Structure 1
Amino acid sequence: MTPTPTYRLAVDDHIMIAHSLDDEFFGPAQQLHGATLHIRAVFHRVGLERHGVVLDIGEASAMLSRVLDPLRHRNLDEHPDFVEKLSTTEVIITYIAQRLIAELPEGHGLSAVEVEADENPRARAAVRMELTGR
């Protein structure tokens, strides 16, 4: 029996944002502060599509850029999609992953989308969304 390989394609970008985390839990981060998040989007596929790729790298990079553009150099406390939400790294990457999934073309054949954000060289968060039934 020949195993079926699973592939992944990752593309990277970054955003510079401002935000505050209005809860005592977050200590000094309750105050308005800036952050630069290094974002990695990972697209997963069982097997390859007919061109021998997971997804076109240029299209994957363009999709990530389009999703990040409305967040670049913004105060998320004032962004309509984050009003009355704590814009933690986990909430931000979930937002990005959901928008990437919405950008996928019909019949994409992907099995999952993962988004990871590095807050600094020693701290990162990730979310993986399975695309069953797509």
Structure 2
Amino acid sequence: MYFVKIRESMMIAHSLKSPFFGPAQNVHGATFVVDVTFKTTNLDEHNVVIDIGLAHKIVKDILAKLDYQNLDDLDVFKGKLTTTEFIARYIYDEISLMMKNDFKGKINVSIKENPNAWAGFEED
């Protein structure tokens, strides 16, 4: 399996309105390091997994909608618990939609929310 991994980051604020989350129920900020891995069994006609420039552009465009935002204020997340796992799935879905004509392999989104914890999403 071939793969290409790119990394971008974003700064967000949010709250997780459930007693399950203890103090994270309050508004707090996070700097998310977002790794996106593109995997395929075959290289394309240019012997690459994906155009890295295109991958960076698409991921940057998606993250730009969230960067420096309070996720609680965005209509797309109204009434949702914006956990790291949930945001990883959101980013995955947006990438999949934007790349449906440019990439046919598997995509993995991993978000590092602090030096000791990551969460992510990958379709089966």
TM-score > 0.5 by shorter chain: yes
Separation (CA, whole Å) in 2 of partners of 1:15 and 1:44: 23
Does 2:53 match 1:50? no
Residue equivalent to 1:120:
114
Structure number with greater Rg is: 1
SS at match of 2:76: coil
TM-score by length of 1: 0.89
Give aligned-pair identity as a percent: 37
Does 2:3 match 1:8? yes
CA shift, 1:107, in A, is 5.5
Separation (CA, whole Å) in 1 of partners of 2:116 and 2:48: 32
TM-score by length of 2: 0.96
Question: Unaligned stretches of 5+ in structure 1?
Answer: 1-5
CA RMSD of aligned residues (A): 1.0
Q: Which amino acid aligns with 1:21?
A: L
Does 2:27 match 1:19? no
Residue equivalent to 2:36:
41
The alpha-carbon distance between structure 1 residues 107 and 33, as it changes in their structure 2 partners (threshold 3 A), is closer
Residue equivalent to 1:3:
none
SS at match of 2:30: strand
Residue equivalent to 1:68:
63
Residue equivalent to 1:129:
123
What is the number of residues matched between the two proteins?
Answer: 124
Separation (CA, whole Å) in 2 of partners of 1:39 and 1:99: 14
Q: Which amino acid aligns with 1:97?
A: Y
Question: Unaligned stretches of 5+ in structure 2?
Answer: none
Q: Which runs of 4+ in 1 moved over 4 A?
A: none
CA shift, 1:126, in A, is 1.5
CA shift, 1:108, in A, is 2.6
Separation (CA, whole Å) in 1 of partners of 2:67 and 2:53: 20
Residue equivalent to 2:85:
90
Structure with higher helix content: 2
